[in-house]
Amino acid sequence: MYSVTVRDHFMIAHSFRGEVFGPAQALHGATYNVDLTFRRPTLDPDGIVVDIGRAITALQAVLAELNFKNLDDVPAFAGQNTTTEFLAKHVFDRIAERIEHGELGPHASSLTGLVVTLHESHVAWASFEGSLAPT
């Protein structure tokens, strides 16, 4: 399996509901480093996994939707604890949509999987990994 990873970051504010979150129930900030890994079993006709420039642009666009936002005020997240795990899946879904719409190039439809890892610190991170349906 071949893979290519690109990286970016974003900053948010949010709070959590539930005693399990202790002091994180209060409004607090987080800066996430994001690794986005694209996977495929064979290289495309150009000899690559995905166009790195397009991958970076897509990741930047998805993260711009979240950057500098208080996620407690985002209607799409109403009633949801915007945990690191939840946000990893959200980024996965938004990137998958961009692949489906052809934004990562004509051969990106042959990608078979993505992994989104959000690093909330140097000692803690969470990922969402999933398969992509061929189009």
Element (H, E) at 118: strand 113-119
Residue-wise pLDDT tens digits, 59-91: 999 999 999 999 999 999 999 999 999 999 999
Instruction: Give per-residue pLDDT as tens, 11-42.
Output: 999 999 999 999 999 999 999 999 999 999 99
The number of distinct structural domains making up the chain is: 1
| 13 falls within a domain | yes
Structural domain includes residue 134: no
13 exposure class (CB count in 10 Å sphere: 0-12, 13-18, 19+) = middle
Which positions ≥6 away from 6 have C-beta within 8 Å? 35, 36, 52, 55, 56, 59
Q: Is 10 helix (H, G, I), strand (E, B) or coil?
A: strand
Is this prediction's pTM over 0.85?
yes
Give the domain extent around 58: 2-18+25-122
Q: Which CATH number goes with the domain that contains 107?
A: 3.30.479.10
Q: Are 11 and 29 in contact (CB under 8 A)?
A: yes
